[in-house]
Structure 1
């Protein structure tokens, strides 16, 4: 199976790098600047799951140059989606490849399905806390990592079976799920709370539980997202929701979300893709989500990086 990882930020470089390490045929579709950096610095992963480094990285910068690809793993930020959709369309038209998006949230699934067809878009997401250092190398900071995926259409079953086969070769968890939409929503619920509270507080995870008031903000986001999931027809048990809220207390004191890491660096953040998306869905169902709405208002000025002083 030939895989193209579209995007070589921390997420794409990590999972693509792990596949390279295992001998899977992987190439990367990146911008010119990142292509130069990868050729100069190579791909390097610093991780509790084991470090890896290689200079043998195949990169593409033009969609027309992509050939013989079975699967595209789309590993870009939500705010880049509109920009990359035409590239994905070209690649799929040329190769017939399936697309596995690892974006946060849920709105991107419909966007991609409209662009390339429902039969081509596999459900999936990744769970990892990682960032790139100045050399463009991956700094993976939590204890483990997971990529989950599953078919959303019968035509995707065979490619999902092929991807599942490489699980035992790779130093990360690649897990196939039958009800992938439920798992996508559980990730969406959790990351909206965790990224929202750490970024709004501009403090790492240890401070979430430093006061009951701070913890309750994050917990209430999870329950608002739970109500929204129910409106969307996603069946999640109350015990699963309580367990999710308890997980907020399980992070190390220094751990934080990728959104907060981006905010610290003055980079763009996914507030529109996560919290904005939740508000659009809640409006569709006439559902009131005041805590999410408040976090959205607090974080919106940072959407394109640190706001300048007026």
Structure 2
């Protein structure tokens, strides 16, 4: 497959490297600053599932240099998604399908409106990874889930082709027939996990030690379950418990990417995640007091 990675941060560089390792033709579409860093240091991942390095990765800064792509993996932060619009229009205009693996839900309908419903797949990932000073990926978890699926009947073939490629990689991924529900389940989990860790400025272990603090995560999970149902997606109570259990079983020093960004003084995805949930809730008359409170506590750190 010809795969383009838009957003060669920790997530994009990791999955792009794993695709490259399995024999796919991978091109990284990046900004000038990241291009210079990659040209100098290459792309390298350090991972419990095996290290891998691309000494001379194929990188471009101009989308017109890409003549063909089967699939575009979009792994930018939520606040950068609008900046990918022109590149995605060019690539889908040449027949590529788009697999966004952003957190949240709002971007799906936005991309469908801009690119056409047939070109936008559903996708999400579960991975804990960050970039070091050289721009190399430090994958610190033992999981690297990449879940995808069709949102339209016309996407069966591309999803099957990607599934075939996945079998050759070290990625733990699958073609999920209920991808919309999986997107909402991930949104539920990450809204609670990123919200509480970022607002408290603590890793999950410290939050778990205080029952009153951990209760906030439980209440946000419940609010997101109610919100999903308002959008005709039924999240079961046992699936809420599974999300809670996941937070209880994570290593004590685990934290969210949003919390990592707060620590680094970087821009935060709070409007894309929590703000998006609040906008969706207002549109259907759902009350989300815990989510609104967390949103308000994080908001002052959004544009550091």
In 2, the alpha carbon distance for the partners of 1:236 and 1:204 equals 26
In 1, the alpha carbon distance for the partners of 2:166 and 2:2 equals 15
Query: Which residue in the other structure is 2:294 paired with?
Result: 295
Equivalence map 1:118-267=2 (5 Å): 118-267=117-266
Of 83-92 and 294-303, more deviation after overlay is shown by: 83-92
- Describe the SS at the equivalent of 1:260: helix
Deviations 1:81-115 (A, max 9, x none): 1111122112222x210100001000000110011
Contact 1:208-1:248 at 8 Å conserved across structures? no
Query: Which residue in the other structure is 2:112 paired with?
Result: 113
- Describe the SS at the equivalent of 1:268: coil
Query: Which residue in the other structure is 1:45 paired with?
Result: 45
Unaligned runs of 5+ in 1: 306-310
Alpha-carbon distance, 1:246 to partner: 2.2
Equivalence map 1:266-277=2 (5 Å): 266-277=265-276
TM-score, structure 2 normalization: 0.98
Unaligned runs of 5+ in 2: none
In 2, the alpha carbon distance for the partners of 1:253 and 1:126 equals 21
- Describe the SS at the equivalent of 2:248: coil
* Mapped pair 1:304 → 2:303: yes
Alignment root-mean-square deviation, CA: 0.9
Contact 1:275-1:292 at 8 Å conserved across structures? yes
Alpha-carbon distance, 1:56 to partner: 2.2
Deviations 1:172-194 (A, max 9, x none): 11211001000011000000000
Contact 1:268-1:303 at 8 Å conserved across structures? yes
Runs of 4+ aligned residues of structure 1 deviating over 3 Å after TM superposition are: none
In 2, the alpha carbon distance for the partners of 1:51 and 1:115 equals 37
* Mapped pair 1:68 → 2:68: yes
Alpha-carbon distance, 1:116 to partner: 0.7
Alpha-carbon distance, 1:12 to partner: 0.2
Query: Which residue in the other structure is 2:89 paired with?
Result: 89
Contact 1:147-1:174 at 8 Å conserved across structures? yes
In 2, the alpha carbon distance for the partners of 1:89 and 1:54 equals 28
In 1, the alpha carbon distance for the partners of 2:268 and 2:189 equals 17
Query: Which residue in the other structure is 1:25 paired with?
Result: 25
Query: Which residue in the other structure is 2:59 paired with?
Result: 59
Deviations 1:203-241 (A, max 9, x none): 111012111101100111000000000001002211111
Between Structure 1 and Structure 2, how many residues are aligned?
304
Contact 1:123-1:149 at 8 Å conserved across structures? yes
In 2, the alpha carbon distance for the partners of 1:45 and 1:65 equals 26
Contact 1:208-1:249 at 8 Å conserved across structures? no
In 2, the alpha carbon distance for the partners of 1:247 and 1:46 equals 24
TM-score, structure 1 normalization: 0.96
- Describe the SS at the equivalent of 1:157: helix
Alpha-carbon distance, 1:40 to partner: 0.8
In 2, the alpha carbon distance for the partners of 1:86 and 1:303 equals 26
